[in-house]
Amino acid sequence: MSVQQIILNQIAKRRRFPVPELGDDVFVRSLSRGELESLGKIEKDKKTDFMIGCVLVDEAGIPVCPRDAANPLSDEDFADTVALGTQDWDVYALKTLSAAVNKITNVPPAETVVKN
């Protein structure tokens, strides 16, 4: 196996990160650049639901709350749909998921990356 293939395989494996505080079968992925931009544009009270809908994935990295390409929803409507499914979640679960996503999505400034 080439070095390039090894690196690509490693990147593919990191498409999901476990959140053991919430169970063995709870995984999240990082937000994409586009999702981060969308997150900045939607109403404050819908941000958490939008984020959860984007980042929750199963063990294979497949979204738990997929967006239907045949019937696309606006970002706000997607957040509302996710909110219906998560309305009974406790605050601990929401805070734990948010912290996990923050940890893996937080990208250091370019200056820091260049220094290291």
Where are the domains positioned within the chain? 23-105
Q: In this predicted model, which residue has the larger pLDDT, 92 or 114? A: 92
pLDDT tier, 76 (very low <50, low <70, confident <90, very high otherwise): very high
Per-residue pLDDT of 92-107, as tens digits, reads 999 999 898 888 877 6
**Residue 111 exposure: Cα atoms within 13 Å on the Cβ side:** 0
pLDDT at 113 over 80: no
- 18: amino acid identity, one letter: P
Phi-psi region of 44 (alpha: psi -120 to 50; beta: other; left: phi over 0): alpha
* CA 40 – CA 74 distance, rounded (Å): 14
* CA 50 – CA 107 distance, rounded (Å): 20
Per-residue pLDDT of 4-38, as tens digits, reads 888 877 776 667 889 999 999 999 998 888 888 99
pLDDT at 84 over 80: yes
